[in-house]
Amino acid sequence: MRIAGLAMNRYTAGNSVTLLRNGAEYFPALLEAFAVAEREIWLETYIFADDAAGRRIADALVEAAVRGVVVRVLVDGWGARHYLNDELERHLLGGGVDLLKYRPEIAPWQFRSHRLRRLHRKLCHVDGRIAFVGGINVIDDMHTPGHKPPRVDFAVCVRGPLLAPIVQTMQRVWAIVEFTQLRSSAVPLFADEHPVAPTGTQTAKFTIRDNLRHRRDIERAYLAALRTARSEIVIATAYFFPGVRFRRALVAAAARGVHVTLLLQARVEFKLLHWASRALYGQLLAAGVAIQEYHRSFLHAKVAVVDSRWATVGSSNIDPYSFLMAREANVFVRDRVFAHELRAELVTMIESGARPVPPQDWAQRSRFAKGLSWIAYGVVRVAMGVLRYGGDEWWRSGWPQR
């Protein structure tokens, strides 16, 4: 038996990693893989919506189950509560799909901090020969109330040795959920890792975040790239509220001449976090970090490119929820061709749908706007302390610059 975690956080050669843009490319790739599945399909998603995309995926999963493929679908309890309705759930279960919910105990009149430990990963593998990792839920690109253009997000299609840790972590989480819900299981808690033959030329690693052995792994992978950057850092993330180490790494990179660009969400979804994150703008802008706010549509991406040679695509935002609470999964790629392709996508987004935040204008914004940001920052900071997440490491820098 190979101990889970040995293959994680280790770059391996011989992979094929293909960038997928939005559900428009992601869902057809999933459907194609499902159509030729022979043994098993494993799918993890935070949201499984009853819309056009969700029904297509559900139908394909049922068709695979009917022809004898073992189909296992794991959805988050919170996401399922809001998107997976009874009709779609009956369709999946009635069609032979094995459906589980991660932490389904959601009660609006009861709140405990551990319930924030959600399954935020978006993973899939078919027959252990092809996998998908990214930030795209099973929900239509146009399922964005109030936003006419499609949601912007990314995923990757993976073949090669990187499959081994992906398969292993999906088996392990499934077995844990079955064990905690007192279900008998044919899936071992400590599954063997089966090596996969090289199928490409790219070097990459698969990294998870959980609440045990891999609590800081994704954050550490980011920090290693930021601290060694020489010319350029481009980060696109839907939710941006980093801790002190991450902010210091960005500031230090800008100070040594690295061109640092943050592509952040302009449209407001969660008002408190939106205003709290804007409290950090002053420190970053003063240090020379460029901030672009994407306004054209809803930004759901969680990607980055450093020096056009290192890139990451995954489910992890740069905020306390992703770095400290949820189960997340990212692929990190050391390949100039892949990094250049992703960078080109981000540059296009900046040029066609983003507006820069001018440092001088930001410094001269109204007292009301400044006060709102400070109050929101303080509320989030206190809430994190009450929930006992992050500790001094996350907040040690004190209040943001005004």
Task: Quote the pLDDT of residue 390.
Answer: 57
Looking at the structure, tell me whether residues 182 and 276 fall in a common domain.
no
Q: Which residue out of 153, 302, 319, 335 is catalytically annotated?
A: 302
Check: CB of residue 329 under 8 Å from CB of residue 208: yes
Looking at the structure, tell me whether residues 37 and 181 fall in a common domain.
yes
Looking at the structure, tell me whether residues 163 and 285 fall in a common domain.
no
Whether residue 76 lies inside any domain: the answer is yes
Q: Which residue out of 50, 76, 101, 120 is catalytically annotated?
A: 120
Whether residue 270 lies inside any domain: the answer is yes
Domain end, chosen from 150, 176, 201, is at 201
Distance in angstroms (rounded) separating the CA atoms of residues 313 and 25? 15
Check: CB of residue 225 under 8 Å from CB of residue 310: yes
Distance in angstroms (rounded) separating the CA atoms of residues 227 and 137? 31
Whether residue 388 lies inside any domain: the answer is yes
pTM, two decimals, is: 0.92
Could you tell me whether strands 202-209 and 122-126 are parallel, antiparallel, or unpaired per DSSP bridges?
unpaired
Whether residue 251 lies inside any domain: the answer is yes
Contacts with 322 (C-beta within 8 Å, 6 or more apart), sequence order: 120, 209, 218, 239, 302, 315, 316, 328
Looking at the structure, tell me whether residues 118 and 173 fall in a common domain.
yes
Per-residue pLDDT of the chain (402 residues; tens, 9 = 90+): 344 444 567 999 999 999 999 999 999 999 999 999 999 999 999 999 999 999 999 999 999 999 999 999 999 998 888 899 999 999 999 999 999 999 987 555 454 555 568 999 999 999 999 999 999 999 999 877 666 688 999 999 999 999 999 999 999 999 999 999 988 888 888 777 788 999 999 999 999 999 888 999 999 999 999 999 999 999 999 999 898 999 999 999 999 999 999 999 987 677 777 778 888 888 899 999 999 999 999 999 999 999 999 999 999 999 888 888 899 999 999 999 999 999 999 999 999 999 999 988 777 777 777 777 777 777 777 766 655 555 555 555 454 554
| Tokens describing residue 206 | 């698969």
Check: CB of residue 156 under 8 Å from CB of residue 133: yes
Looking at the structure, tell me whether residues 147 and 238 fall in a common domain.
no
Residue 300 annotated among the catalytic residues of the structure: yes
3-state DSSP call for residue 65?
helix
Task: Quote the pLDDT of residue 43.
Answer: 98
Q: Which of 5, 1, 3 is nearest to 213 (CA)?
A: 5
**H or E stretch including 123?**
strand 122-126
Residue 318 bridge partners (DSSP): 240
Whether residue 5 lies inside any domain: the answer is no
Task: Quote the pLDDT of residue 213.
Answer: 87
Q: Which residue out of 125, 205, 214, 300 is catalytically annotated?
A: 300
Looking at the structure, tell me whether residues 272 and 335 fall in a common domain.
yes
Whether residue 212 lies inside any domain: the answer is no
The torsion of the CA quartet 238, 240, 245, 247, rounded to 10 degrees, works out to 110
Task: Quote the pLDDT of residue 185.
Answer: 81
CATH of the domain at 35: 3.30.870.10
Q: Which residue out of 50, 153, 217, 307 is catalytically annotated?
A: 307
Q: Which of 17, 15, 334 is nearest to 198 (CA)?
A: 15
Q: What HEC string does 146-205 produce?
A: CCCCCCECEEEEEECCCHHHHHHHHHHHHHHHHHHCCCCCCCCCCCCCCCCCCCCCEEEE
Q: What is the DSSP letter of 378?
A: H
Domain count, the chain: 2
Which domain covers residue 256, as residue numbers? 217-395
Task: Quote the pLDDT of residue 388.
Answer: 53
Whether residue 2 lies inside any domain: the answer is no
Task: Quote the pLDDT of residue 192.
Answer: 75
Q: What angle do CA 361, 367, 369 make, to 5 degrees?
A: 70
Q: What angle do CA 374, 118, 270 make, to 5 degrees?
A: 30
Q: Which residue out of 122, 143, 205, 274 is catalytically annotated?
A: 122
Residue 148 annotated among the catalytic residues of the structure: no
Looking at the structure, tell me whether residues 128 and 23 fall in a common domain.
yes
Distance in angstroms (rounded) separating the CA atoms of residues 194 and 7? 11
Looking at the structure, tell me whether residues 229 and 158 fall in a common domain.
no
Could you tell me whether strands 154-159 and 12-21 are parallel, antiparallel, or unpaired per DSSP bridges?
antiparallel
Neighbours of 399 (CB within 10 A): 12
Whether residue 206 lies inside any domain: the answer is no
Looking at the structure, tell me whether residues 177 and 265 fall in a common domain.
no
Looking at the structure, tell me whether residues 256 and 382 fall in a common domain.
yes
Q: Which of 93, 97, 64, 84 is nearest to 138 (CA)?
A: 84
Q: In Å, how far are 173, 334, 353, 377, 402 from 273, measured between CA atoms?
A: 29, 32, 22, 8, 17
Task: Quote the pLDDT of residue 365.
Answer: 77
Task: Quote the pLDDT of residue 400.
Answer: 54
Looking at the structure, tell me whether residues 297 and 328 fall in a common domain.
yes
Looking at the structure, tell me whether residues 129 and 235 fall in a common domain.
no
| Tokens describing residue 208 | 């998870």
Distance in angstroms (rounded) separating the CA atoms of residues 392 and 50? 42
Residue 122 annotated among the catalytic residues of the structure: yes
Burial of 39 (0-12, 13-18, 19+ CB in 10 A): exposed
Residue 307 annotated among the catalytic residues of the structure: yes
